[in-house]
Amino acid sequence: MLTNIRKKISHLSFRWKAIVFIASVEGLFNIMFAIIVVSVMQNNLEEQFFKRAQTTAQIFAKTTTNAVLATDIASLESFVEEVMTNNDIRYARVIDTSDVLVEHAHDQELLKRSFVADTNLGGVDDNVFDTFATISEDGEVYGRVEIGLSTDLLGSTITQIQLKVILTGVGEIVFSAIVSFLLGTFLVRRLIDLQKGSKKIAQGDFDFRINDEGGDELAATARAFNDMSSKVNSLVHGLKQANTGLDEKRLMAENDLQLAQARLIQASKMEALGTLSGGIAHEINTPTQYIGDNLIFLRDASQNMIQMVSLCRELCVEARKNGVLVHSVDEIEKFTESIEMDFLIEEIEDAIKQSVEGVGEVSRIVRTMKDFSHPGSVEKSHVDLHELLETTISVSKNEWKYVAELEHDFAADLPKVSCYPGELKQVFLNLIVNAAHAIGALEKDNQDGVGKIQIATKHQDGWVEVLVNDTGGGIPHKIKQRVFDPFFTTKDVGQGTGQGLAIAFDIVQNKHGGVISFESEEGQGTSFMVRLPIS
Indicate whether 283 and 226 sit together in one domain. no
Residue 69 forms part of a structural domain: no
Helices (H) and strands (E) counted in the chain, each on its own, are 13, 11
Check whether residue 345 and residue 418 sit in a common domain. Answer: no
Fill in the DSSP letter of residue 510.
Answer: I
In a domain, 58, yes or no: no
For residue 389, count CB atoms less than 10 angstroms from its CB and return exposed for 0-12, middle for 13-18, buried for 19 or more: buried
Distance CA 176, CA 87 (A): 45
Whether 105 contacts 124, CB under 8 Å? no
Q: How far apart are the first and last CA of the chain?
A: 88
Query: For the domain that residue 451 is a member of, what is the CATH number?
Result: 3.30.565.10
User: For residue 445, is it within any domain?
Assistant: yes
pLDDT of residue 493: 47
Q: Does 92 reside within a domain?
A: no
Q: Residues in the chain with pLDDT < 50? A: 493-494
Q: Are residues 392 and 367 in the same domain?
A: no
Q: What distance in Å separates the CA atoms of residue 242 and residue 153, rounded to the nearest whole number? A: 13
Facing residues of 382 across strands? 418
In a domain, 55, yes or no: no
pTM of the model: 0.40
Residue 516 lies in a domain: yes
Residues 30 and 171 in one domain: yes
Say how many domains are in the chain.
Answer: 3
Give yes or no: residues 398 and 525 share one domain.
Answer: yes
Q: For the CA atoms of 380, 382, 387, 391, what is the dihedral angle to 10 degrees?
A: -10
Please say which residue of 236, 267, 298 terminates a domain: 267
Q: Mark whether 430 and 496 lie in a shared domain.
A: yes
- Domain span at residue 278 reads 269-373
Claim to verify: residue 398 and residue 493 sit in the same structural domain: yes
Task: Say yes or no: 254 and 281 in one domain.
Answer: no
Show the DSSP H helices in 212-340 as ranges: 217-321, 326-338
Q: How far apart are CA 424 and CA 384, in angstroms?
A: 12
pLDDT in tens, 220-262: 777 787 788 778 778 877 887 888 777 777 777 777 677 666 6
pLDDT at 458: 94
Q: Of 373, 399, 426, which closes a domain?
A: 373
Residue 350, pLDDT score: 75
Q: Are residues 286 and 369 in the same domain?
A: yes
Query: Bridge-partner residues for 466, per DSSP?
Result: 457, 530
Q: What is the DSSP letter of 63?
A: H
Q: What is the pLDDT of residue 465?
A: 94
Question: 262 and 273: one domain?
Answer: no
Element (H, E) at 467: strand 463-470
Nearest-CA neighbor of 260 among 62, 494, 15, 40? 62
Q: Which of 267, 282, 305 delimits the end of a domain?
A: 267
Answer yes or no: do 408 and 516 share one domain: yes
CA–CA distance, 237 with 226 (Å, rounded to integer):
16
How far apart CA 435 and CA 470 sit, in angstroms, is 6
Q: Which residues of 111-149 are buried (b: 16+ CB within 10 A; e: fewer)?
A: beeeeeebeebeebeeebbbbbbebeeeeeeebbbbbbb
The reply to whether 495 and 454 lie within a common domain is yes
Given this model, what pLDDT does residue 463 score? 93
Say whether 406 sits in a helix, a strand or coil.
strand
Q: What is the pLDDT of residue 409?
A: 93
Is 125 a domain residue?
A: no
Q: Determine the Cα–Cα distance for residues 44 and 49; give it in Å rounded to an integer.
A: 8
Q: Say if CB 453 and CB 406 are below 8 A apart.
A: yes
Is residue 57, in this structure, part of any structural domain at all?
no
pLDDT digits (tens, 9 = 90+) for 415-470: 999 998 888 988 998 899 989 988 888 766 665 567 899 999 999 888 999 999 99
Please report, for residues 53, 67, 192, 247, the alpha-carbon distance to residue 72 in angstroms, rounded to integers and kept in the order given.
25, 5, 70, 31
Task: Considering only CA atoms, give the Rg of the chain.
Answer: 41
